[in-house]
Amino acid sequence: MHSMTQPGAGTAHVAASYNPDLKLATRRLSPQRGMTSVDWLTSYHTFSFGAYKDPEFNGFGTLRVINDDTVKPGGGFAAHGHQQMEIITLVIRGTLAHKDSLGNGSIIHVGDVQVMSAGQGIQHSEFNASQQELVHFLQVWVIPNDHGMLARPRYDQRRAINPAITNRWQLLVTGDPKLEACTIYQDVRFYYAAITPGMQLPLEVGANRCVWVHGISGRCEVNGERLEDGDGLGFVSHMMPGKLSVGVDERQSYPASLLVFDVPPLQRI
């Protein structure tokens, strides 16, 4: 596993010095994302997905897909299959009903994280559990390690985000089964944070990593780069560890929430 210190609490927002070994590689503004729109679904694609192709954005390291989906009441994805992919779902608003070929059936609520390791193959469906309210969620795909490519499919779901916690990183997904989070077959750490105005939150990153930062709500600065709803910033570290620093202006009247996807570089074709 890569080396990383335990994330700490936020501090007052001051001018930050950024480790030059963590470099901004790319940015993806929310309006630049691809979009799929049908009667029951609006989906924004950070990276190439389905009929939407962008050769400049086919993924970032082993991070392959970030889809920002809103599904109308009663709508959803009928049973379909995946293999050799780690699939993570995070509900932002509403409730999502899940069923799969392993016999799992569950409701995914705001703050829950669901992971499926598709491995040798899995069938699943995801529907809006409500007949009255929209459901808004992120679906994230990660390319697994060699073991995950051939593993039997598996499923996990847990409450991962505590809305009462601010100015601290909350670990959602990891490749280390010793940590208290959902696990997948890849050397990753996914974090969520809600940062209040005037606060700054650091996160140390190991050497030879790809780090994608995705804005959920509000406005913040990540190593001096502005991030808003749906925006993405991609950073890379090489021979030396680096550090992210996320700050929210004290004049802002609302907090900012974001996700950090810390993944290894893509080693295989």
Q: Which residue blocks in the chain are alpha helix, DSSP H?
A: 146-150
What is the full per-residue pLDDT of the chain (269 aa) written as tens digits? 343 334 666 766 544 555 667 999 999 999 999 999 999 999 999 999 999 999 999 999 999 999 999 999 999 888 888 899 999 999 999 999 999 899 889 999 999 999 999 999 999 899 999 999 999 999 999 999 999 999 999 999 999 999 999 999 999 999 999 999 999 999 999 999 999 999 999 999 999 999 999 999 999 999 999 999 999 999 999 889 999 999 999 999 999 999 999 999 997 53
Residues 174, 175, 179, 180, CA torsion sign: positive
- Pair of tokens at residue 79: 């049973």
| pTM given for the model | 0.93
| 20 within 8 A of 206, measured Cβ to Cβ | no
Q: Which residue blocks in 124-242 are alpha helix, DSSP H?
A: 146-150
* Residue indicated by tokens 């109308």: 72
What is the distance in angstroms between the CA of the first residue and the CA of the last residue of the chain?
22
- Which class is domain 11-263? mainly beta
| 139 within 8 A of 69, measured Cβ to Cβ | yes
